[in-house]
Amino acid sequence: MNKNIAVIRGDGIGPEIVEQALRVLEKTAEKFGHTFSFTDVDMGGCAIDKWGNPLPEAELQKCLESDSVLLGAVGGEKWNNVAGDMRPEKGLLRLRAGMGVYSNNRPAKIWKQLAEASPLKKEIVEKGIDFIIVRELIGGIYFGEHKTAGNVATDILQYSEEEIERIGRIGFETARKRNKKLCSVEKSNVLDSSRLWKKVMHSLAEEYPDVELSDMLVDNCAMQIVKNPAQFDVIVTENMFGDILSDEASMITGSIGMIPSSSLGATSCGLYEPIHGSAPDIAGMDVANPIGTILSVAMMLRFSFDMPNEADSIENAVSAVLDDGFRTADIMSDGCKKVGCSEMGNLIISRM
């Protein structure tokens, strides 16, 4: 199978971590008989330096013509004084809007080798943490009307059936590719928008009889994530709830450098990136952790290219390297062997 991947190396450590992820893709192509072609795209601070624009239209077009997009990280202190509408992060917002990716999917997975880094009690962690939060990304209270009149401020939370249905389908399809359990999170005991959310989700469930749907109020979900995260497989929720819950979920895993993410829309073309930033203070030092980016590639293979075996191969290789005690500086612990960014890439490739 031939796939064209738009590659945004970005700023700071972005080029270093992306390079290792591309090497993993090349190994995957060799092992499974695929062909991956890569198209470089300028976005972020590097695009400002080169083009005077964080994402020129021609660069966005490359992404729209690709089968999926791999992003490292953008931004840094160098561009802090750039005008607001031309900051590096504006390129990312423009990319999301241009691609129409309305679903942000962030896994929360504890690697057993890094269990001690979790702030949760050992007996909770030992039950396992491995779930995905599917967050609606371009609707809800963040995109509603905002106004202040005198000493009164108002923010409108609004969702249509169509907006709920399209994110709901992403939730069901994601669960179908995992353990077939979907938890819909809302606040239907208080909010009309949540009552509509619940109605649409249950209507959708009729189309997915193989997926077990459950409902949970958002405040209870926040408690359950720290009390018993092992109960979850896929959580689907609206924008603000998803923003808060996904940050909570990332913290219980203990290491931001290990967490990938995807953003998806109506097509299989997705945006894949680690959740961490550009870390300009360590750029060029070959010490960054590439695992979050490498695992983002595994998500791309699984959710955009329908290549579950290839994704498993990458994830199993990461686990094997951690089993062998190799760690980058950010996840280093006593008795382990410290390696740099490129060497971590070498080790993962060698275990594939």
247 is annotated as an active-site residue: yes
Could you give the angle at the alpha carbon of 200 between the alpha carbons of 195 and 202, nearest 5°?
95
Catalytic residue, chosen from 11, 67, 233, 243, is 243
Catalytic residue, chosen from 187, 208, 233, 272, is 187
Catalytic residue, chosen from 40, 155, 192, 247, is 247
CA nearest to 273, candidates 57, 35, 44: 44
Can you give the C-alpha Rg of the chain in angstroms?
20
Catalytic residue, chosen from 219, 306, 312, 323, is 219
Catalytic residue, chosen from 78, 130, 142, 180, is 142
159 is annotated as an active-site residue: no
With beta carbons less than 8 A apart as the criterion, state whether 308 and 138 touch. Answer: no
Sign of CA dihedral 207, 213, 217, 223: negative
67 is annotated as an active-site residue: no
- Structure token digits, residue 72: 């490292």
d(CA 41, CA 279): 20
312 is annotated as an active-site residue: no
Which residues are known to be catalytic? 142, 187, 219, 243, 247
